Amino acid sequence: MLDVTLLGTGGVRPLPDRFLTSLLVKYRGREILIDCGEGTQTAMRKYKKSLQEIDLICLTHFHGDHILGLPGLLMSMGLEGREKTLTVAGPKGVGEIVSLFRQLGPVLFPVRFIEVHDWQEFYREDSLSITAFSALHSTVCFGYRFDVSRSPKFDRERAEALQIPLKYWNRLQHGETVAADDKIYYPEDVLGGPRRGIRLSYYTDSRPTEHIAAMVEGSDLLIGEAMYPDDREKARERGHSSGTETAVLAKNAGVRELWLTHYSPSFVNPGECAEQLRSIFADTVLPSDGMEKTLRFSE
């Protein structure tokens, strides 16, 4: 399962009651943060998240409202005694950004970086993989997709019928072929078909493209941009998406649920657009800061 916390929902500038857009994903004790605008460390404290559990920070792009909280976050991690390595992923140039921010700290723990590319799976831990995909903004920008794979169901009855010793079941269950007792036991003999995992996708600061729709297809939860409620022209001029455009994309991509985020400071009451946007895509949510959800395997 994936625990998802939308730490902030604001674009461009932090507001007294709205942190800048940032997403925290927790998987098996590891935290992964997407974007880190000014105030993200404060949002984490507000929503009782540990800075020290962060394993990976993914930056969508290098505009200030997505990165200027990073030096303070690194500094606070260091002051709290962090020693373990942090990884920062982002577009080409992420190494220079990290080096620059480390100087402001100072930051004494190791920080490594990953330059991501379109359609690149750059992170894999246990059953979780993260894939970057190109967004379309005024500068190089990426979205991120989280996939938790689910192992096929183990068919106990069949294993018993085939008289496979109990001690080999676990290995077979994990897809391992077992050669023992002068026999070969194949996992496919005792495993069911592929099962749906969990998919979470996130992008902001982008026009709604077919490429994005393809990359986020079938997500259990898509978190996408609504810089403006319904102003396609303004969104287009500035390389953003309106809520309407993102609701259309969510519908076309067959996602299960859509959360909108990265509201312009001028977009004061996003909730007022809920009805209109749900007429396009029924499972649209217009969250406030701190919205949380646990994504689980569906039966």
Residues annotated as catalytic are 65
105 binds its own copies per the rule CB under 8 A = yes
Q: Which residues contact 59 (CB under 8 A, 6 or more apart)?
A: 34, 35, 36, 66, 67, 70, 88, 89, 90, 91, 94, 97
Report yes or no: 6 and 28 within 8 Å, Cβ to Cβ.
no
User: What are the residues facing 146 on neighbouring strands?
Assistant: 130, 200
Stretch in the footprint of its own copies (CB under 8 A) among 34-42, 168-176, 181-189, 209-217: 34-42
Q: Which is nearer to its own copies, 8 or 224 (CB)?
A: 8
The two structure tokens encoding residue 183: 């026999």
Query: In the block, which residue shows the tokens 């938790």?
Result: 148
Closer to its own copies by Cβ: residue 39 or 224: 39
Residue 44 vs 249, nearer CB to its own copies: 44
Range in contact with its own copies (rule: CB under 8 A) among 72-80, 129-137, 169-177, 197-205: 72-80
Min separation Cβ 51 and its own copies, Å:
10
Candidates 42, 129, 252, 276: give the one binding its own copies (CB under 8 A): 42
Among 44, 112, 45, 39, which residue's Cα sits nearest to residue 71? 39
Shortest distance, position 251 Cβ to its own copies, whole Å? 32
Q: Give the whole-angstrom CA distance, residue 293 versus residue 299.
A: 18
The answer to whether 8 contacts its own copies (rule: CB under 8 A) is: no
Pick 65 or 220: Cβ nearer its own copies: 65
Element (H, E) at 290: none
Nearer to its own copies, 37 or 270 (CB): 37
Q: How far apart are CA 26 and CA 156, in angstroms?
A: 32
User: Hey, which residues between 165 and 194 contact its own copies (CB under 8 A)?
Assistant: none
Candidate list 11, 72, 91, 243; residue touching its own copies; CB under 8 A: 72
Q: Are the C-beta atoms of residues 255 and 284 closer than 8 Å to each other?
A: no
Residues lying near its own copies in the complex (CB under 8 A) are found at: 12-16, 37-39, 41-42, 45-46, 64-65, 67-69, 71-72, 75-76, 79, 100, 104-105
